[in-house]
Amino acid sequence: MNPQKVLIYTKKLSFLKDYWREVLIAFLFCLMWVKSKQDQRQIKEAYNVSVESLEEQIRGLQGLHKTELELRDEAIEKYQKDLDKLEKEYQKAVEDLEEEKNKNRDKYVENFSGDPEMLVEKIQDNYGFTYVP
C-alpha cells in the first residue's frame, strides 16, 4: 500500500477513535431524519386517502340530500292538491247544507204558518223543550 494512504487511514481511525460518540450521534441523527421523512410521507398519504374518502362520502350525502328534497317537494305538492280538493269538497258541502237549510226553513214556514201548534210539537220533539204558553 501507499504510505500516504496508510497515513490517511490512520488519521481517520484516530479521528473515529477520539470522536466515535459524536460520529455515532451524527449517524443516528441522519437515520432519524430519514425515518421522519418516511413517516411524513406515510402521514401525507394517509391524509390524502382520508380526504378522498370524505369527499366521496360528501358526494353520497349530497345525492341523498337531493333525493330527500325531491321527495319532500313531491309530498308538499301532493299535500297541496289534497288540501285544495278537501277545501272544494268542504265548500260544496257548506253550500249544500245552506241550500238544504233554506229549503227546510221555507218548508217549515209554509207548513207551520197556518198551524202553530204543530210547530210547537215539532220543536218539543226535536229539542226536548216544554212549551209553556
Report if residue 19 sits inside a domain: yes
Report if residue 133 sits inside a domain: no
| Interatomic CA distance for residues 93 and 45, integer angstroms | 71
Residue type, 22: E
Q: What is the rounded average pLDDT of the residues 27-52?
A: 97
pLDDT tens-digit readout, 58-86: 999 999 999 999 999 999 999 999 999 99
| Interatomic CA distance for residues 125 and 130, integer angstroms | 9
Report if residue 36 sits inside a domain: yes
Report if residue 79 sits inside a domain: yes
Residue 7 clears pLDDT 90, i.e. is over it: no
Report if residue 40 sits inside a domain: yes
The H helix count followed by the E strand count for the chain is: 3, 0
Total domain count, the chain = 1
pLDDT tens-digit readout, 99-118: 998 888 877 777 667 777 77
Q: How confident is the model at residue 35 (pLDDT cuts 50, 70, 90)?
A: very high
Report if residue 131 sits inside a domain: no
| Interatomic CA distance for residues 126 and 117, integer angstroms | 14
Closest CA to 112 of 99, 97, 126: 126
For residue 44, the enclosing domain spans 3-126
Q: What is the pLDDT of residue 1?
A: 66
23 Cβ contact partners less than 8 Å away, ≥ 6 residues apart:
16
For 86, the grid coordinates are: 278537501
Report if residue 85 sits inside a domain: yes
For the residues of 14-52, what is the DSSP string, one character each?
Answer: HHHHHSHHHHHHHHHHHHHHHHHHHHHHHHHHHHHHHHH
What pTM was computed for the model?
Answer: 0.49
For 106, the grid coordinates are: 221555507
| Interatomic CA distance for residues 11 and 17, integer angstroms | 10
Per cent of the chain over pLDDT 70 is 96
Residue type, 120: V
Report if residue 132 sits inside a domain: no
